[in-house]
Chains A and B, each alone.
Chain A
Amino acid sequence: MRASFNRRLLDQTPTLLFAVALAGFGLSTPAFLTKENLLNIGVQAAPVGIVATGMTFVLLTGGVDLSVGAAMFVAAAVAGKLLLGGQSLALAATAMLGIGAIWGAINAVLIARSRIAAFIVTLAMLFIGRGFALWLTETRAMNLPDSFLRVGSARFAGIPAALWLLGLVAGAAQITLSFTPFGRQLHAVGQDQEAARKAGVNTKRILTWTYLLSGIAAALGAVTALGQLGAVTPKFGENYEFKAIAAAVLGGTSLFGGRGAVLPGTLIGALLIQSIENGLVLRNADPYFYPLITSAIIFVAICLDRVRSAILAKRTRRHIRVEATT
Chain B
Amino acid sequence: MTFALEVRGIEKSFSGVPVLRGVTFALEAGKTLGLVGENGAGKSTLMNILGGGVQADAGQMLLGGVSHAPRTPADAARAGVAFVHQELNLFPNLTIAENIFLTAFPTRSGAFIRYSAIYQRTAELLREVGLDTPPDTPVENLSTGQRQLVEIAKALSRDARILIFDEPTSSLSARECEQLFKVMGQLRRRGLTMIYISHQLGDVLRLCDSVVVLRDGIVAGSGPTREFTADRLVVLMVGRALTQLYPSRRGSARSEIVFEARGLGEPRVIHDISFALRRGEILGVAGLMGAGRSELARILFGLDPHSRGAVFLEGKALHRASPTERISRGLAFLTEDRRHEGLCLDASIADNLMLVALRDFARTPLKLLNRAMSRATLQKIRERIRLNQNARDEQPVRTLSGGNQQKVVLGKWLLVQPRVLILDEPTRGVDVGAKFEIYSQILELADGGAGILIISSEIEELLGLCDRVLVMNRGEIRDELSRPEFDRERILQSALPAELFS
Contact = CB atoms under 8 A, between A and B. Distances in A.
A8 interface: no
B91 A195 contact: yes
A35 interface: no
B483 to A, nearest CB: 28
Contact of A181 (B105, B271, B474, B475): B105
Contacts of A308: none
Interface string B111-122: 111010000000
Which one of A181, A191, A312 has the greatest number of beta carbons of chain B within 10 Å?
A: A181
Nearest to A195: B89
A200 B77 contact: yes
A200 B475 contact: no
Interface string B67-102: 000000110010000000000010111100010001
A188 B94 contact: yes
Interface in A150-208: 175, 179-181, 184-185, 187-188, 190-192, 195-196, 198-201
B192 to A, nearest CB: 21
B107 interface: yes
Given A179-B113, A259-B93, A321 B271 contact: yes
Nearest to B95: A184
A321 B474 contact: yes
A292 interface: no
A67 B62 CA distance: 52
B295 A318 contact: yes
Most buried by A among B74, B111, B290: B111
Nearest to A185: B102
A71 to B, nearest CB: 27
A188 B102 contact: yes
B137 to A, nearest CB: 13
B91 A200 contact: no
B290 A187 contact: no
A23 to B, nearest CB: 33
Contact of B112 (A179, A185, A312): A179
Contacts of B140: 312, 316
A308 to B, nearest CB: 13
A195 to B, nearest CB: 5
Nearest to B268: A319
A323 B267 contact: yes
Interface residues of B, number: 30
A316 B112 CA distance: 31
B4 to A, nearest CB: 23
B93 A320 contact: no
Interface in A222-262: 258-259
Contacts of A192: 91
Contacts of B115: 179
B291 A258 contact: no
Interface in A259-314: 259, 312
A306 B458 CA distance: 38
Contacts of B205: none
B422 to A, nearest CB: 18
Nearest to B88: A195
B269 interface: yes
B103 interface: yes
A200 B290 CA distance: 33
A321 B94 CA distance: 28
Contacts of A184: 94, 98, 102, 105, 113
A321 B268 contact: yes
A143 B347 CA distance: 56
A200 B103 contact: yes
B87 to A, nearest CB: 9
A180 B111 contact: yes
B63 interface: no
A320 B102 contact: no
Contacts of A196: 91
B397 interface: no
A32 to B, nearest CB: 38
Contacts of A185: 102-103
Chain A CB within 10 Å, residue with most, of B74, B105, B290: B105
A34 to B, nearest CB: 40
B402 interface: no
B270 interface: yes
A228 B421 CA distance: 67
Most buried by A among B91, B92, B269, B271: B91
Given A195-B89, A199-B102, A321 B292 contact: yes
A196 B291 CA distance: 33
11 contacts: A181-B107, A185-B103, A188-B93, A199-B89, A201-B103, A258-B91, A312-B140, A320-B291, A320-B295, A320-B474, A321-B270
Which are the 6 A-B pairs with shortest beta-carbon distances?
A181-B105, A320-B292, A200-B103, A320-B475, A321-B475, A258-B93
Given A184-B105, A191-B91, 13 more contacts: A188-B91, A190-B93, A195-B89, A196-B91, A199-B89, A200-B74, A200-B102, A318-B290, A318-B295, A320-B269, A320-B475, A321-B270, A321-B474
